[in-house]
Amino acid sequence: MKKVRSVLIVDDSATSRMIIQRCVEMCGLEVTRFLEAENGIDALTLLSDGENGIDLVFSDINMPKMDGSTFIKLVKNRPSTRDIPVVVTSSIAASSIEPEMRKLGVMGVIQKPVTPEKVIQALGGEE
């Protein structure tokens, strides 16, 4: 994964969204635009707008209104969004949620705090 046009960061914490954005920038991905959502419902709205051209999603698990698991299931079941790579970022131990998240089709799971190294590893070691 080299050039990524738009990245969607889904997390109910503005601080976490900022940290994830900074880590992605530090990884050398050529991101044109970052979009943010506080929960799965808002994120689905952004994904439904075909104009956004989202190429990569980072999603927390524990969020109000719609949690990350439900959001990811919906993303992966829609023909228009199922191929968008999703990386989970969570304060829950990665080892405890990774098997379930992999079954849902996520690309990787990052246990918070998010770091550039963890982002690179979740994206398959590519820069």
What radius of gyration, in Å, describes the C-alpha atoms of the chain?
A: 13
| pLDDT score at 94 | 66
Strand 3-10 with 108-111, pairing: unpaired
Counting as low any pLDDT under 50, the low residues of the chain are: 1, 126-127
Alpha carbons 127 and 62: distance in angstroms, whole number:
28
Q: Do 5 and 35 contact (CB within 8 A), yes or no?
A: no
Residue that is written with structure tokens 């590519």 in the block: 126
- Are residues 4 and 34 in contact, defined by beta-carbon separation less than 8 angstroms? no
Domains of the chain: 3-122 (3.40.50.2300)
Residue 50's pLDDT is: 65
Q: What is the DSSP letter of 114?
A: P
